[in-house]
Every structure is written in C-alpha cells, then in structure tokens.
Structure 1
C-alpha cells in the first residue's frame, strides 16, 4: 500500500485546510491585481486514479490550458493547474478587459498567455507557501510554464514519475469567483504529483506512517 492509499479523512481534511489557506492568500493577491474583490475556495480535495484524472479534464484528447511548475526544495515534485480553454478565456477577460482573443486556436494572444501565466504564478506560490508552512518542509515553485495542448500530452511527464509509486494523484479543486463578472465562477483543478522520494516527507508530516 502506498502513502496516498493510506491517507485517511483526517489527512484529506488537513490537505483541504492547506488548500483553503492557499486559496485565501491567492484571492488577496488576485484582488489586488484586478483592483476588485475576488473570492477563491476549495470545495474538495480528492485522491483520484489515472482514469479519473483524465475524466476530470475531459479525456486525454481534450484541449486544456495548463500551468506547469516544478516543485523544488525538500520535497520536490510536479504541479499542474488545469483549466478548460473556455475557463481560461473567461479568466483572461477578467484580467485584461479584452474580448478579442482566443486560447483555443493558434496563434495565441501574447497578453492572454502572460495573464494566464501570472495567474499560475500567483496560485502556485500561494498553495505551495501554505503547504510548506503547514508541514514545515521547504517548498519553492520554479518559473511556471503555460502550455495549451491535449491533456494526455501535458500530463504525461508528471504521471510517468507518479506511476513509479502509485496510480493516484492529489486533486485540489479550485473555484475562482470574480464578483464583477456575470459569468459563473471559474472552476479549475490543481494536480499535486510529488516525486517518489517526496511521498514519505510530505505524508509522514500529515500523520501517515511509512509502510
């Protein structure tokens, strides 16, 4: 049994609290950036297998916008923040006020790409800072990379490393609510994929014993 398989409801609640702290910090940063109130919340933290992960993003052939970063420090790993193209466009419109662009067909608008990458930078930094403080392990994000491609191609690298330990990943659901936008809140997913050697460092801090 892997560390992820050993997680209890208590540890999942702890991870959800980490997510809520991180989303609160990210909401503050986004509100300052947009100059109006933005709310973020984490309705659920889940453990999902490969097939469920792909279902969440619409299948391996589904086009997605993903901000990828490498987690560096004492417990390295990979992290993805995934949005559908429609959700990504909604967010960029909120950030830039521009309606005349698309992230679904190249060539992609440079302003849109910069806005999405900045969002990823803010969110990733907030989540990792919260997790680092919670488990008292140094974690730092690399420079985020924005990719728009098929889900299977984007997630392949992270899943390859994950498969050495488990067929599961930690998913942190994230809802971004811009109160000045009439559209429904933006729903995204954080995929947390620790490296094999990082599992004991993270999960033992959450009270999951080594197997």
Structure 2
C-alpha cells in the first residue's frame, strides 16, 4: 500500500494526467448530451484526512445531488459525480426538454431521478473507459447509486469502508462547469478515490516506480 510519504510530485502529475484524460472524455460526453459547451478545470490531486473531504464540495451541510459508483477490476476504488442542485436542474431541463423541472421534481419524481442517474452512468463509463485505455487496466463501474443529501452524508457512504484501512484519502478531483454559465464557482465535481492498494497497480501499469 502506498503511503503519503511515497506520493511525490511526479506521482501526483501522473494522477493528474489520469484525471485529465478521464474527466476530459466525461466532459465531452456531457457536452454531447446537453449539446452545449462544458468546461473542465485542470485536475488536482489531494491527500486529505477523511473529515476534510466534504470541504472540497462546499461543506458538510451543502445539499448536493451525487451519483456514487464502486469501481471494480484491477484497481478498485470509489467514484463520485457531484452536482449542485442548480446544476442538476439545468442538466435535466436540457436533457428532458422540460422547463418545469425544479429541485422539488428531482426530490420527488422517480423518472427525473432516473434520468440524472443515467447521466451519471454515462459520464462515469466514459471516464473509466479512457482511464482503462490509458493504463491498460480492466476497470468497470458498479450500478450507480443516486442520492440527494448533505455532502457529509453523501461522502461518508463511499468513504466508510476505506476509512477502516487508512486515515487519509488520495483524491483525483476534476471540476466541470457549464461553459455558457455566467455564474462564478464550480457546478460539479468528479471525485476518483482509488483504494490504497490500487495506487501501486496504477503506477506499475504505467511503468512508474514508487521511489521515483
């Protein structure tokens, strides 16, 4: 299992490139679904204690719409696609052509929630497919789990198992934003959290030594 001391700037650059390739394909897929420009910020790689992860998406009490996936295969881990409720509403209006979609509809309509879940499924599949192509590793997303809740509750769902084997998370974080939006801030996050044992497999697949 790779330790924080072994994660050099060189390794972080490799992980950023993985995030760049994966999220770039996901942003392209979202652009095609919505038929509009989707911007992508440069990925960041962060080593943070579990209790600080929620600060990355706006704080514990921020209500978000999140799709969670368990990544299975050669390098298991967890993946979150997290939207603000405003962005989830915008995406669903674009996809369904229904201007009446609002936050209440997302909370109460099974059909609306299914559309958002399937959107997450498409984006996660696109991300992991490009990740697999880049590394040569076999990776697949689980059936997506959609939840709308405060960020602390959403993230604890996917971090509970990991926290039993480590007290930190290495997170590849990429931000996606509606390219035509005039608002400031970030509309969504793609968080990829490989299991601690997966980092060695990822670096080995790329021929990158841990002591570089």
For the aligned pair, the TM-score class normalised by the smaller chain equals 0.7 to 0.9
Structure 1 residues 40, 11: closer, same or farther in 2, change over 3 A? farther
Distance 1:208 1:81 in 2: 30
Name the stretch that deviates more: 47-56 or 120-129.
47-56
Structure 1 residues 5, 126: closer, same or farther in 2, change over 3 A? farther
2:74 alignment counterpart: 74
Report SS of the residue matched to 1:75.
coil
Distance 2:136 2:4 in 1: 19
2:125 alignment counterpart: 125
- Cα deviations across residues 112-145 of structure 1 (Å, max 9, x unaligned)? 3133212211221121112222222110111212
2:210 alignment counterpart: 209
RMSD (Å) for aligned C-alpha atoms: 2.8
1:152 alignment counterpart: 152
- Please state if 1:47 is matched with 2:46: yes
Report SS of the residue matched to 1:67.
strand
* Superposition deviation, residue 68 in structure 1: 0.5
1:189 alignment counterpart: 189
- Cα deviations across residues 14-45 of structure 1 (Å, max 9, x unaligned)? 222222322332344334333x2433423232
* Superposition deviation, residue 56 in structure 1: 1.9
Distance 1:32 1:130 in 2: 17
Name the stretch that deviates more: 165-174 or 76-85.
165-174
Distance 1:23 1:105 in 2: 28
* Superposition deviation, residue 71 in structure 1: 0.6
Gaps of 5+ in 2: none
State the TM-score, normalized to the length of structure 1: 0.81
Distance 1:186 1:57 in 2: 9
User: Contact (CA 8 Å) 2:42, 2:174: kept in 1 or not?
Assistant: yes
State the TM-score, normalized to the length of structure 2: 0.81
Distance 1:141 1:6 in 2: 28
Structure 1 residues 161, 176: closer, same or farther in 2, change over 3 A? same
1:168 alignment counterpart: 169
